[in-house]
Amino acid sequence: MKYALVTGGSRGIGKAIALKMASLGYQVLINYKSNLSEAQHTLEAIRHAGGDGELLPFDVSDKVKIQEILGGWIEANPEKEIEVLVNNAGIRNDSLLAWMEEDQWTDVINTNLDSFFYVTRLVLHGMITRKYGRIINVVSLSGIKGLAGQTNYSAAKAGVIGATKALAQEVARQGITVNALAPGFIKTDMTEGLDEKELKALIPAKRFGLPEEVAHAAVFFASKDSAYITGQVLSINGGLYT
């Protein structure tokens, strides 16, 4: 059975990607940290559309839980192959660096950057054995351009971009591609506190993007048709920064 694992798959961009992966015929592993009801709604939506999947609760910032739960699932289900990994889970905790608390730095780095290492390393072994895989990392405009007040978030996402480019070179021979999606301002929970009216004026497209628009790009990177594209960062930002 072919699976797609989507971290942070219960809401927003992650939910949209999970639904799209199901439309490709994948069983979807929906990772979430604490919002069980939203994760269940995502799984119900997948089933309503004719697909299926499983819930996989663990905190992506906790390497012990990743090993215990994700590693345990992989060990207990040798017939279930994770063919697509979408590293989507992430958090923001904005502050100017001069006033940033240590936990604001470490929490954001652990959740957005360290999680890439611990989750990807576990899933990668199976991909290498099978000589096929698709790894898609959801990064951010912040990781490319840098945004004031997001030194921690920009550093974490820039780190994932560098890791994407390096890992792509390590595993290309094994039939595994590694690419990144860099959304700009997308209408999700993470952008609810932003001044949308003011920010729209800066965006050439004059609007925020939709989670489904990011999911369409994820589906392309997950497809067999993208086999010769790896180590790339695709910006989805309405022309805000190119």
Contacts of 181 (CB under 8 A, 6+ apart): 136, 137, 138, 139, 214, 217, 218, 221, 233, 234, 236
Q: Are 70 and 46 contacting, i.e. CB atoms less than 8 angstroms apart?
A: no
d(CA 208, CA 10): 21
Asked whether the beta carbons of 20 and 215 are under 8 A apart, the reply is yes
Are 137 and 178 in contact by the 8 Å Cβ rule? The answer is yes
Question: Residues 6 or more apart from 37 whose CB is under 8 A from it?
Answer: none
In the residue annotation, 228 being an active-site residue is answered as: no
Q: Are strands 27-32 and 81-87 parallel, antiparallel or unpaired?
A: unpaired
- Name every residue whose Cβ is closer than 8 Å to that of residue 114 and which is 6 or more positions away in sequence: 61, 63
| Catalytic pick among 26, 132, 153, 228 | 153
| CA–CA dist 160, 111 (Å, integer) | 11
d(CA 140, CA 160): 10
Q: Provide the annotated active-site residues.
A: 153
